[in-house]
């Protein structure tokens, strides 16, 4: 039987919205009234029931209206079945957000600032703060939760204690920290992989601080310092998920549910540095961390890639 890709994506989107709403109720209830939560769940039910017709060849859907009546809907639109693999990523998140003004057929604003892009299969907050402000958006094609640029975590930088006490939150990870001095600041590009509660995945973050800072704290970088990063995460010999190259300060990917130790995962990551000086400093730091140039550490121009297992 032919597998309906769009139906799978729809199912994942619904589950993602439900998970986001549940997280809000559990952790951010102080910022939402009971009426807001009830309205969110009422509209979630509308999303669950938005499909008017279904077959293995096509899906006809009613698009939610943006007016105050959650039961109202626009005219039904037939969406063709796609045979593209679930890992297909035709647009970067930044391009998808920019396309919202011009590609009305691909972008649908659902409710509570949540937008769904049918071209990318991504469900995201239109202000890039994460679904309902939780700091994470959802890529339904990859089945991956990821951090947008304006996630609340950006305000808290990096402190070594975050990793030291991560086990208290059920987070069991391994990490590599590449530190170097560039343009009068101490920089750190750090990668993580492993088990994050009931998810598993990987991260790459970029931080800096003033020279000779008194505490082991790094600031989250500004937009002007964000660097293009990408990652492919493997479980054994099979691709687990992929994050396409995008300029960011904290590129992440988490699969829910996911039960994998750090040793189960292998990462193929890349970062494009600002110039040759920054590239060489980063390479030197990675070599000091046990990587070997030409074996599991490579560069082309200012782009450095590395295999971490």
Predicted TM-score (pTM) of this structure: 0.69
What's the rounded mean pLDDT across residues 256-262? 91
Q: What is the pLDDT of residue 212?
A: 87
Average pLDDT over residues 271-300: 98
pLDDT of residue 199 exceeding 50: yes
Q: What pLDDT does 17 receive?
A: 55
Decide if pLDDT at 297 tops 90.
yes
Q: What is the mean pLDDT of residues 31-54?
A: 44
Q: What is the 3-state secondary structure (H, E, C) of the chain?
A: CCCCHHHHHHHHHHHHHHHHHHHHHHHCHHHCCHHHHHHHHHHHHHHHCCEEEECCCEEEEEEECCCCCCCCEEEEEEEECCCCCCCCCCCCHHHHHHHCCCCCCCEEECCCCEEEECCCCEEEECCCCCHHHCCCEEECCCCEEECCCCCHHHHHCEEHHHHHCHHHHCEEEEEEEEEEEECCEEEEEEEEEEEECCEEEEEEEEEEEECCCCCCEEEECCHHHCEEEEEEEEECCEEEEEEEEEEECEEEEEECCCCCCHHHEEEEEEEECCCHHHHHHHHHHHHHCCCCECCCEEEECCEEEEEEC
Instruction: Tell me which of 155 and 65 has the higher pLDDT.
Output: 155
Condensed to tens digits (0 to 9), the pLDDT of residues 79-130 reads 333 333 322 333 343 444 444 434 556 888 888 889 998 888 889 998 999 9
Instruction: Check pLDDT > 50 for residue 55.
Output: no
Q: In which band, very low, low, confident or very high, does the pLDDT at 150 lie, cut at 50, 70 and 90?
A: very high
Chain segment 61-71, per-residue pLDDT in tens: 333 333 333 33
Domain layout of the chain by residue ranges: 5-146, 157-308
Which of 99-108, 133-142, 170-179 is most confident? 170-179
What does the pLDDT read at residue 39?
Answer: 53
């Amino acid at each position: 039987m032919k597998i309906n890709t769009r139906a799978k994506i729809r199912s994942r989107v619904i589950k993602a919205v439900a998970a986001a709403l549940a997280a809000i109720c559990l952790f951010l209830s102080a910022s939402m009234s009971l009426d807001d939560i009830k309205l969110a769940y009422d509209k979630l039910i509308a999303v669950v029931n938005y499909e008017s017709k279904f077959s293995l060849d096509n899906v006809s859907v009613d698009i939610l209206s943006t007016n105050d009546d959650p039961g109202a809907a626009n005219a039904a639109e037939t969406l063709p079945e796609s045979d593209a693999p679930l890992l297909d990523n035709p647009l970067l998140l930044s391009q998808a957000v920019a396309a919202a003004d011009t590609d009305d057929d691909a972008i649908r604003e659902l409710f509570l600032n949540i937008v769904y892009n049918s071209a990318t299969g991504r469900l995201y907050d239109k202000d890039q703060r994460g679904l309902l402000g939780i700091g994470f958006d959802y890529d339904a094609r990859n089945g991956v939760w990821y951090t947008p640029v304006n996630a609340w975590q950006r305000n808290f930088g990096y402190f070594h204690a975050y990793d030291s006490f991560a086990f208290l939150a059920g987070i069991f990870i391994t990490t590599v920290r590449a530190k170097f001095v560039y343009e009068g600041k101490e920089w750190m590009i750090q990668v993580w992989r492993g088990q994050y509660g009931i998810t598993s995945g990987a991260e790459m973050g970029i931080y800096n601080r003033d020279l000779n800072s008194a505490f082991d704290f790094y600031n989250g970088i500004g937009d002007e310092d964000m660097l293009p990063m990408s990652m492919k995460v493997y479980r054994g010999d099979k691709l687990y998920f992929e994050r396409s190259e995008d300029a960011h300060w904290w590129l992440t990917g988490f699969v829910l549910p996911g039960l994998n130790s750090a040793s189960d995962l292998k990462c193929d990551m890349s970062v494009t540095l600002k110039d040759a000086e920054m590239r060489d400093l980063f390479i030197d730091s990675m070599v000091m961390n046990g990587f070997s140039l030409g074996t599991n550490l490579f560069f082309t121009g200012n782009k450095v890639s590395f295999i971490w297992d």
